[in-house]
């Protein structure tokens, strides 16, 4: 079963619509979608390692644009959509404390959380809700999301053949590890942040 899923993922990564799908997932993940773009960025970079840098750039730009949508949700739609997403992660009662923290350490919050498996949509919505400087938010998002995606591109560019051989043999482990990271990110967003 996992071998077929692996082959399907690689074939999807090689399709002519893969870059558009990658951009769509990166955009959506920064504002409302629960799954990270790494799910498609990794196989695409494995399928075409020479394009890994381009894929990282696509992910970065789309993620920041999606982050601007998340920021707008926090700034303009908090009473409806934003409140629902924040409550889903248990942040509702902590908004006051978060506001004080953001006033002094908002830049660090954006930079650190953009690299972690904690859903970036929380950062984008909270930044808009708390009125963090939009230009600074965009710059910090470019730095942190770019670092994350370009690290993946660098790893795939350098170790892609080794990773592909490992994934050919152990794709089930890869899926299990990736799911564990995603679940940990959601758990950490609720309990640690």
What is the tens place of the pLDDT at every residue in 19-33?
888 899 899 989 888
Domain assignment of residue 184, given as a range: 2-30+37-191
Q: What pLDDT does residue 187 have?
A: 67
Q: Considering only CA atoms, which of 129, 119, 70 is closest in space to residue 98?
A: 129
- Separation between Cα atoms, residue 188 and residue 183, nearest integer Å: 8
Q: Considering only CA atoms, which of 137, 129, 28 is closest in space to residue 79?
A: 129
Q: What pTM was estimated for this model as a whole? A: 0.78
Indicate if the pLDDT at residue 167 is higher than 80: no
- Separation between Cα atoms, residue 150 and residue 83, nearest integer Å: 32
Interval 168-173 mean pLDDT: 69
Who contacts 17 (Cβ-Cβ below 8 Å, separation ≥6)? none
% of the chain with per-residue pLDDT over 90: 25
Indicate if the pLDDT at residue 190 is higher than 60: no
What is the tens place of the pLDDT at every residue in 52-105?
899 999 999 999 999 999 999 989 988 887 777 777 777 777 777 778 888 888
What is the tens place of the pLDDT at every residue in 103-155?
888 898 898 888 876 778 888 988 998 899 999 999 999 999 999 999 888 88
Who contacts 3 (Cβ-Cβ below 8 Å, separation ≥6)? 171
Q: What pLDDT does residue 145 have?
A: 94
Q: Report the domain count for the chain.
A: 1
Q: What pLDDT does residue 71 have?
A: 95
| Predicted confidence band of residue 34 (pLDDT cuts 50, 70, 90) | confident
| Predicted confidence band of residue 158 (pLDDT cuts 50, 70, 90) | confident
Who contacts 99 (Cβ-Cβ below 8 Å, separation ≥6)? 130
User: How far is Cα of residue 121 from the mean position of the Cα atoms in its chain?
Assistant: 8
């Amino acid at each position: 079963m996992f071998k077929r899923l692996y082959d399907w993922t690689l074939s999807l990564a090689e399709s002519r619509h893969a870059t558009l799908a990658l951009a769509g997932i990166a955009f959506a993940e920064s504002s409302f979608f629960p799954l990270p773009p790494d799910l498609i960025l990794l196989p695409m970079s494995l399928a075409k390692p020479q394009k890994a840098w381009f894929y990282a750039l696509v992910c970065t730009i789309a993620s920041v644009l999606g982050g601007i949508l998340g920021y707008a949700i926090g700034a303009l739609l908090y009473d409806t959509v934003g409140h629902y997403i924040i409550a889903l992660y248990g942040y509702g009662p902590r908004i006051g404390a978060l506001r004080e923290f953001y006033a002094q350490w908002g830049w660090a919050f954006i930079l650190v959380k953009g690299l972690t498996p904690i859903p970036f949509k929380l950062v984008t919505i909270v930044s808009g809700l708390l009125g963090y400087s939009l230009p600074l938010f965009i710059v910090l998002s470019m730095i942190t999301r770019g670092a994350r995606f370009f690290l993946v591109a660098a790893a795939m560019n350098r170790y892609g053949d080794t990773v592909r051989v490992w994934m050919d043999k152990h794709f089930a482990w890869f899926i299990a590890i990736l799911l564990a990271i995603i679940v940990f990110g959601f758990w950490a967003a609720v309990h640690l942040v």
